Amino acid sequence: LKPRDPILATLKINRCLSLIGHLTRKRQFEAAREQVAEYRELTSRNEDVPSFYCDLIAAAVEYKAKRESAAEEFVRRAEATLVDPTPAWAYLTSLAVRYRLPKGVKDLYVDRMQAGLNGKPRSETVGELARLLRRMQLADLQYTGRYTLERLTLAYAERMAQVKFHEGDLLDLMHWLYSAPRWRHALERFAHGAVKRFPDHRWFQYFAGGCEIERAGRARDVQFARWCLTRAYDQFAKAETPEEQAVYYKIEKMLEALDFDERRSLFGPIDMDDWYEDDMDDEEMGENEAAGAGSGADPRRFATMMKWIGDLPDESIEALLGEAIPPSDLASIKRFIEAQGLTLGQYIAQGLSGEAPQ
């Protein structure tokens, strides 16, 4: 094992969080405090986890233990690290539900959170709330009240004039909206304004171009989409992370789709044999036609797509699958494939040849 491996570090952090919640609900407070201390140590080296999270988790443990003074001190420490305490109240509200804190505690912070979200909006508050909600989305964390927090956060963000957004906070908001299927439709409202203010930002170009392509059934600005995606593609060519590499390949496919649509509009319906002849030889086409006999889908199109996915690094494949598959299901799929002694790419390759285990 590599102690500094980011995946291992995330697993340790998640293990701590699970234990803290379990021990707190079981009223094993000393053991819970030990786990809070371990969580603080682990997250002190992780820039992706805000320090105020740990103080609020500690506060939740103390509220459950009926040590209100100690809990309130942790809350004050958390609030002091923020420009606006509303995100702290939002997170503590979620902890109150998950740790089954007294109703009075939950109601107190629900009221504070709602008052904050009904007040004058701030860019920093939108950014912190978006980061919190994206973490919940990626972790598939469900609790009563999350929908209300999401709805209020989006309404809060929509009350802000685009010019008042800081670049990083706007990016965090758009990352959250992109990751949440329920609110994905709202992404377009911010994407065009973001590109106007930050025309050289690759993520804003990617989001705006993608939104334009997804305008199914509505007039879309193909030139604007191509302008955004071409520039984003050039910048993501220097991808440094699996997520960025996956985005690079997605943009490549989006540009191919634009070419496809443009060719169809100029020359009429496209002969699929001609479209795929560069990707697959006759023998591959024959095999896939036989495998897909009787189905309504074009097997060559599916095979081409899967071959492209299978050639990606495993990290990029996982990033792509993670957008369509819940984290718990994706983890089960990975365990099944690893039990066969295969990587994700190898499993897809064997699936195309008909060799993958059932």
Burial 242-256 (b: 16+ CB within 10 A, else e): bebbbbbbbbeebbe
pLDDT given for residue 311 in this prediction: 62
CA distance 138 to 243: 13
Task: Give the integer Cα–Cα distance in Å for 292 and 202.
Answer: 39
Overall residue count recorded for the chain in this entry: 358
**Is 135:176 a contact under the CB 8 Å cutoff?**
no
User: Which tens digits make up the pLDDT trace of 157-186?
Assistant: 999 876 689 999 999 999 999 999 999 999
Which residues of the chain, if any, have pLDDT below 50? 1, 270, 272, 275-277, 285, 288-297, 356-358
Phi-psi region of 218 (alpha: psi -120 to 50; beta: other; left: phi over 0): beta
Burial of 265 (0-12, 13-18, 19+ CB in 10 A): exposed
User: Is the C-alpha dihedral spanning 180, 10, 15, 55 positive or negative?
Assistant: negative
Are residues 60 and 76 in contact, defined by beta-carbon separation less than 8 angstroms? no
Separation between Cα atoms, residue 254 and residue 235, nearest integer Å: 15
What would the pLDDT profile of 70-106 be if each residue is shown by its tens digit? 999 999 999 999 999 999 999 999 999 999 999 999 9
What's the confidence (pLDDT) of residue 269? 53
Is this prediction's pTM over 0.75? no
- DSSP state letters, 99-167: TT--HHHHHHHHHHHHHHHTS---HHHHHHHHHHHHHHHHTT---TTHHHHHHHHHHHHHTS-GGG--H
Contact 87, 129 (CB under 8 A): yes
If 0-12 CB within 10 Å is exposed, 13-18 middle and 19+ buried, where does residue 358 land? exposed
Query: What integer pLDDT is reported at residue 170 of this predicted model?
Result: 96
How far apart, in whole angstroms, are the C-alpha atoms of residue 333 and residue 327? 10
Helices first, then strands: H and E counts in the chain: 19, 0
